[in-house]
């Protein structure tokens, strides 16, 4: 069997190069990781400490839900996919001024949603949809040109994110709260399916490289079932069949937890770059079960599924992946320093405090503020540590180095 993916560990270059625009726009993860993590910090502080500033058409709770899913989580996903797409296909989907233009669309969307008035909202919505569709088209083109059939479905998941985004924005304009929640949950599930697909591929691979002698299964077949049940859950949710969606969602979450157990999480306990990914995958699996319970009619607070999936799942995975993949692509040693580990602990603490704040107790407001503080500090640490590296060339740029991740050719085909 041919090897689908290999990773080379680059040597560290101790030389401190000057910032370069070309380096900053070299790959999607550089500007989009920074943008997404900055917005994670800023949007939560706005929501918790300055909600009076949210005067746009998409204001209040709809703004918060939208910006956390499509403004933060999905932005990081686009950055990751535009970077990983180059590894899968041998072609960088977007770079240079084209990548900068994509980021301008993202900025216009974030600013437009904050500005009052219908024109600003329409401009923001158009920019937001173009952002996701352009990202999907760039990735789809690279996948199609290289006939990378294994990844044909991933650009379609980005299109699904764009579609659910459009439906969510339309429901906001119509003032239809029930439709808004349905489309938000559909977008959340689209993001969950995409996250499970990516994490199931890379987590076992990273684990076997980080822990000597660790032998764990990739769960390719169960991953196919997981993808299928996830898609069924999305379709049933959009079709107004919550009971069937609950069964499919429960199956998706259970498969994730079975995979997690078989990947021997205890073996990752001494590797911060690894255990943070295990923690996020576990949180995502539990969150899908919580979502299934709510769809099935069990008494749960409305905000529980979104926060377990989004904060305990997506966000924990993001702080880990944004560290691990950035270090590799920046030519740095794959080791987490104290500031990185501190950011992991703070994001996990923020997740636990946020879930505790959902309980109907007198301490809820204090827990919410404590969660926002831990959250902001965690992402501020990431930005403080990685911003100087993101705007400079790779640490090994002056050497002849193999790519951090490359796709090996299939039998009978030349390398990309």
pTM: 0.90
* pLDDT, tens only, 295-318: 998 877 889 999 999 999 999 999
SS3 for 6?
strand
Residue 183 in this model has a pLDDT that exceeds 50:
yes
SS3 for 394?
coil
Residue 385 in this model has a pLDDT that exceeds 70:
yes
Highest mean pLDDT among 85-89, 297-301, 383-387: 383-387
- Give the rounded percent of residues in the chain with a pLDDT score beyond 90: 82
Is residue 226 packed enough to be buried (19+ CB in 10 Å), middle (13-18) or exposed (0-12)? buried
Between 299 and 335, residue with greater pLDDT = 335
Confidence of residue 195 (pLDDT cuts 50, 70, 90): very high
Asked whether 9 and 309 are in contact (CB, 8 A), the reply is no
Confidence of residue 6 (pLDDT cuts 50, 70, 90): very low
- The pLDDT of 229-242, averaged and rounded, is 93
* pLDDT, tens only, 89-103: 999 999 999 999 999
Annotate 259-309 with DSSP letters as a single string.
HHHHT-GGGGTT-HHHHHHHHHHHHHHHHHHHHHHHHTT----THHHHHII
pLDDT attached to residue 397: 72
pLDDT attached to residue 14: 38
Strands (E), 76-145: none
pLDDT attached to residue 149: 87
Distance CA 164, CA 173 (A): 14
Residue 414 in this model has a pLDDT that exceeds 70:
no
pLDDT attached to residue 299: 72
> Closest Cα partner for 312 from 345, 279, 344, 271?
279
pLDDT attached to residue 399: 57
pLDDT attached to residue 415: 35
> Closest Cα partner for 277 from 208, 355, 354?
208
Distance CA 334, CA 66 (A): 33
Residue 7 in this model has a pLDDT that exceeds 70:
no
Helix axes 316-329 and 364-390, enclosed angle (nearest 10): 10
* pLDDT, tens only, 128-177: 999 999 999 999 999 999 998 889 999 999 999 999 999 999 999 998 98
Lowest mean pLDDT among 81-85, 113-117, 227-231, 295-299: 295-299
pLDDT attached to residue 398: 62
pLDDT attached to residue 300: 79
Distance CA 174, CA 163 (A): 17
Q: What residue segments make up the domains of the chain, in order of their start?
A: 21-175
Backbone angles phi, psi at 81, to 5 degrees: -70, -35
> Closest Cα partner for 166 from 112, 116, 128, 117?
128
Q: How far is CA 94 from CA 82, 139, 257, in A?
A: 7, 8, 35
Asked whether 53 and 118 are in contact (CB, 8 A), the reply is no
pLDDT attached to residue 16: 67
Between 246 and 408, residue with greater pLDDT = 246
Q: Which residues neighbour 182 within 8 Å (Cβ) at sequence distance 6 or greater?
A: 171, 237, 238, 240
pLDDT attached to residue 406: 42
Distance CA 90, CA 415 (A): 8
Distance CA 35, CA 40 (A): 9
Helix axes 118-145 and 74-89, enclosed angle (nearest 10): 20
SS3 for 67?
helix
Lowest mean pLDDT among 195-199, 301-305, 356-360: 301-305
Residue 272 in this model has a pLDDT that exceeds 70:
yes
pLDDT attached to residue 128: 97
Cα Rg of the chain (Å, integer): 20
Q: What is the mean pLDDT of the chain?
A: 90
Q: Tokens 């600013």 map to which residue?
A: 111
* pLDDT, tens only, 15-29: 468 999 999 999 999
């Amino acid at each position: 069997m041919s090897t689908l993916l290999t990773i080379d560990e680059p040597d560290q270059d101790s030389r401190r190069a000057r910032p370069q625009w070309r380096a900053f726009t070299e790959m999607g993860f550089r500007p989009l990781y920074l943008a997404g993590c900055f917005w994670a910090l800023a949007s939560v502080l706005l929501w918790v400490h300055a909600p009076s500033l949210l005067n746009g058409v998409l204001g209040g709770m709809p703004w918060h839900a939208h910006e956390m899913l499509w403004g933060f989580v999905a932005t990081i996903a686009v950055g990751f996919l535009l970077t990983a797409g180059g590894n899968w296909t041998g072609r960088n989907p977007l770079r240079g001024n084209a990548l900068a233009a994509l980021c301008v669309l993202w900025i216009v969307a974030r600013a437009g949603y904050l500005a009052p008035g219908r024109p600003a909202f329409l401009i923001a919505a158009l920019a937001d949809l173009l952002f996701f569709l352009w990202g999907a088209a760039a990735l789809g083109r690279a996948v199609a040109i290289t006939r990378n059939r294994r990844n044909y479905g991933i650009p379609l998941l980005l299109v699904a994110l764009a579609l659910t985004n459009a439906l969510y924005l339309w429901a906001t304009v119509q003032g239809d709260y029930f439709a808004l929640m349905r489309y938000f949950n559909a977008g959340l599930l689209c993001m969950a399916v995409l996250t499970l697909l990516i994490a199931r591929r890379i987590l076992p691979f990273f684990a076997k490289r980080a822990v000597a002698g660790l032998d764990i299964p990739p769960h390719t077949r169960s991953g196919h079932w997981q993808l299928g049940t996830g898609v069924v859950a999305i379709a049933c949710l959009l079709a107004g069949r919550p009971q069937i969606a609950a069964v499919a969602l429960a199956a998706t979450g259970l498969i994730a937890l079975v995979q997690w157990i078989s990947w021997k999480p205890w073996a990752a306990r001494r590797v911060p770059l690894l255990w943070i990914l295990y923690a996020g995958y576990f949180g995502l699996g539990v969150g899908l079960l919580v979502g299934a319970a709510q769809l099935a009619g069990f008494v749960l607070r409305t905000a529980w599924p979104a926060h377990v999936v989004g904060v305990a799942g997506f966000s924990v995975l993001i702080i880990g992946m944004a560290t691990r993949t950035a270090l590799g692509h920046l030519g740095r040693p794959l080791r987490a320093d104290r500031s990185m580990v501190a950011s992991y602990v703070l994001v996990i603490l923020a997740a636990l405090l946020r879930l505790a704040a959902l309980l109907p107790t007198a301490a809820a407001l204090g827990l919410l503020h404590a969660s926002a503080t831990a959250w902001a500090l965690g992402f501020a640490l990431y930005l403080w540590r990685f911003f100087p590296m993101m705007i400079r060339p790779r640490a090994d740029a002056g050497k002849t180095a193999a790519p951090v991740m490359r796709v090996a050719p299939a039998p009978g085909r030349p390398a990309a």
